[in-house]
Amino acid sequence: MRGPHNIWRLIRTGATLERTGAMGVVLDAFKAPPSLRLVARILGWPFKWLGDKGDPNMPPATRALTALGPAYIKFGQVLSTRPDVVGDELAIQLRVLQDKLPPFPIEVAKKSVEAELEVPVDQIFSEFSEPVAAASIAQVHKATLAETGEEVAVKVLRPGIEKAFRRDIDAFYLAARMIELLSPSSRRLRPMEVIAHFEGVVLGELDLRLESSAAGEFAANTKNDAGFQLPKVKWEYSAKRVMTLGWAEGVPSGDVIAIDAAGHDRRELGKRVMQLFLRHALRDGYFHADMHQGNLKIAPNGDIIAYDFGIMGRIDEYTRRVYAEILFGFIRKDYRRVAEVHFEAGYVPPDRDVDEFARALRAVGEPIFGMDATRISMGRLLNYLFEVTERFGMETRTELILLQRTMVVVEGVARSLDPHINIWEVARPTVEDYIKESIGPKALIKDLARTARVLARFGPRLPQMAEAALIRQGNPPPEHRPANRWWRPILWMGTGAGLTALLIIILERF
C-alpha cells in the first residue's frame, strides 16, 4: 500500500547504507562531490542505529543491498557489470548478487515444487540437488528427470518474494513522488513512469509461466543464430512458481580465468555477446533484458548460452529504426543526423537548436572513437550525457528504459571479457545490416506491401465504408438516387487502380 508510511522504508534504506559502511563506498565509487557527501552524512548518521546490520561476512555494499531486499539487489546486479562506472573493486564485490546470494532450504523448495506441480518431487526427479545458484528472486537446483534420466535445472521462486518486491516498489513510488514535488526540474525524467515501468517488469518476472513463454518465443527467434544456445523449457514440469529447463553445461561468463583455461577466445566472445544483443533488439524487437554474467555461460564448444528469461524487452519497429539510425549516426560520426533523428522522433523539444544539440552529441561521442576502452571513463561520459539531456529538455522515454539499461549491462559484460573492446566498431556490421534491410529501398517496398495487404483485407467492405462516410457528411450516395447504382463498380475500379498506380510508382523508382 502506497503512502507516507513508506517514509520509514526510505529512512531505513539510508540508515542501512550508513550502518553497513556502504554509504562511503557508494559515494566514493560515484565520485560524489563534497556537498552531496555532506548531505548524505547528515541525513544518514542520526538514523544509523535504525539500519539493518546485514551479513558481516559480506563486503559493505553487497551487505547493504542484500539486507535491503530484492529490488535493491536488482540495482546492484546492474552496477556489477560496470567496473568502468563504479570501479573494479566494487564491481567484483557486487557480482555475488548475480547468483551467489544466501539460498533458502531445499525442503522449502521441494514443498513449493510439489504444491505447484501437484506431484511428489520423488516421482518427477530421481535426483534433486542442493541449490547451485541463488539470486534475488529465485534459486536453481540441478535435478534428473525420473522418466528419461535427463539432467535439468529447476528454478523455484523465493518464499514471500511477491510481498517483498511490493514493499520495495511502494517505497520507490513515494521516493519518486517526493522527487517530483521537491525538484520540479526532475519531472522531465518522469520518475513515476520509470518506477511504473520497473514494476511491470518485476511483476512479469514473478510468474514463471510467463518466463517459460518468453523462453519459447526467444528460442524460435534465435534458432539460427550461430554461436548461441538456449536451454529448452520442460512445460510439463513448469508452473507459476516453478520452471524446469534443460541443464546448460558450461563455464560462467564472469569467470575469465576458467574461460582462459578452457581455451576460449575472450575477445571473440566479447564481440559476439554485443552483436547478439543488437541483432535480437534490432532484427526481432525482442531481446534478453537481463544479460549479466550470472545469466550467461560459455559452452564447451564456445557457444554463448543464455538463461533466466524473467526480464525480456520488446520494442516496436518504428522505435527500432530510430534506435538504429542513432547508433548508425554515431558510428559514422554524423552527429548532425543523430541530432535530426532525435528531433524527428520527438525526443527533443522542437524549440531547441538542432545544431547546438549536434555539437553537444559530438562532445559525447568523440572521446570514445579510436580510444582504448581502458582509457575511457564511462562514468564521466554518462555524467556529461545526463547534463546534455537536462540542457535540451529531453524527457525520459519509458519505452527505451529497458533497452538502454540492457545496453549498459551488455557493454559491461563485453568489457569484462575484452577490456579493450571498442563498442562502436563491434556494433557497426550489425547496425549496417539492419539499416540496409529496414531503412533502405527494400524496406520501403516491404512497408508498402504490408500496407496493401491490410487494405486488401478490408477490400470487400470498402464500398459500404465509403457509403457510410457519404451519408455521415450529408451527401447521399448514388444508390439513394433511382437507377444510379453504377457507382459501386467505379469505386472498386478506383480502389484497384489506386493500388496498381502505387505499385507502378514504386517499381519505377527502384
CB 396 within 8 A of CB 193: yes
| Nearest Cα to Cα of residue 273 among 252, 253, 244, 243 | 253
CB atoms under 10 Å from CB of 207, counted, come to 17
Active site residue 316: no
3-state DSSP call for residue 310? Answer: coil
Phi/psi for 106 (5° steps) reads -65, -30
Residue pair 150/246 in contact (Cβ under 8 Å)? The answer is yes
Q: What is the DSSP letter of 422?
A: -
Q: Cα separation of 370 and 284, whole Å? A: 30
d(CA 494, CA 505): 16
Which listed residue (52, 290, 308, 418) is catalytic? 290
Ramachandran region, residue 370 (left: φ > 0; alpha: ψ -120 to 50; beta: rest): left
CB contact at 8 A, 465 and 429: no
What's the grid cell of residue 231? 536451454
Q: Give dist(CA 142, CA 245) in Å, integer.
A: 10
- Edge to edge, what strands does the sheet with 125-134 contain? 125-134, 138-145, 151-157, 242-246
> What would the DSSP string read from start to end of 118-177?
SS-HHHHEEEEEEEEEE-SSEEEEEEEETTT--EEEEEEEPTTHHHHHHHHHHHHHHHHH
CA 237 – CA 241 distance, rounded (Å): 11
Type of residue numbered 445 = I
Question: Using alpha carbons only, what angle is made at residue 192 by residues 188 and 197, rounded to the nearest 5 degrees?
Answer: 105
List, in order, residues 6 or more apart from 347 with CB less than 8 Å away. 394, 395, 397
> What's the residue count for the chain?
510
Instruction: Specify the 3-state DSSP secondary structure of 454.
Output: helix
Contacts of 293 (CB under 8 A, 6+ apart): 80, 81, 95, 98, 252, 253, 254, 413, 416
The residues carrying an active-site annotation are 290
